[in-house]
Amino acid sequence: MSISLVPLREASDTIVAVFNRWNNDPTIVHLIRPARSEEELVAEHHMTVADLTERLDTHDIFLIYDDDRLVGEVNVIYDAPHLYDNERGSAWLGLVIGEPSGRGRGVGTTALTLLEERLRAQGVPRIELGVFGFNEAAHRLYRKIGYTEIARIEAFTYWNGRFWPDIRMEKRLD
């Protein structure tokens, strides 16, 4: 297993098709986007090349490769409006391991370690992220690599017949 992060510089039909497949995969959609109802949870979302191009204006997006196979993406927004702690220069992190072959094998851990090295070199003081309360595997991963809980936003997302909190976590890089 050789994990690498490749900056996404330009939107393409191929990448948009992969992102759309991941963002509509019923086995992981509840893990990657919040929903306010069952209908919203199962509603299909389709991005276009124009949508991804616009997203690249506000996000640093890195494609996660396991050897030569695209298995996920990690994205960063600096000074995002939804940060719980608005410390200047903070990075908001989003992670999706879209391919089943990339899950449970340390891909996420390695990708986050590589990203943290990049952000530390840029002088980013801290990373913040949110993990849904039912996503115990992700919560364990983040704790294992040094993230600590800083807040909970109750009734943040709907899944499996009820509302769950968003657990906000941070890691200091300075």
Mean pLDDT to the nearest integer, 53-59: 97
Q: Helix (H) and strand (E) counts for the chain?
A: 6, 7
Report which of 8, 4, 172, 2 is spatially closest to residue 91, judged by C-alpha positions. Answer: 172
| pLDDT score recorded for residue 35 | 97
Answer whether residue 17 shows pLDDT above 90.
yes
The crossing angle, in degrees rounded to 10, of helices 136-144 and 107-121 is: 50
Answer whether residue 164 shows pLDDT above 90.
yes
Mean pLDDT to the nearest integer, 44-71: 97
- 162 strand-pairing partners: 159
Answer whether residue 1 shows pLDDT above 90.
no
**Rounded distance, CA 151 to CA 97, Å?**
24
Tokens of 125: 């003081």
Instruction: Give tens-digit pLDDT for 113-162.
Output: 999 999 999 999 999 999 999 999 999 999 999 999 999 999 999 999 99
Mean pLDDT to the nearest integer, 101-109: 94
| pLDDT score recorded for residue 20 | 98
Structural domains in the chain? 3-172 (3.40.630.30)
pTM of the model: 0.95
**Rounded distance, CA 135 to CA 28, Å?**
11
Tokens of 47: 């991005």
Instruction: Give tens-digit pLDDT for 23-39.
Output: 999 999 999 999 999 99
Answer whether residue 53 shows pLDDT above 90.
yes
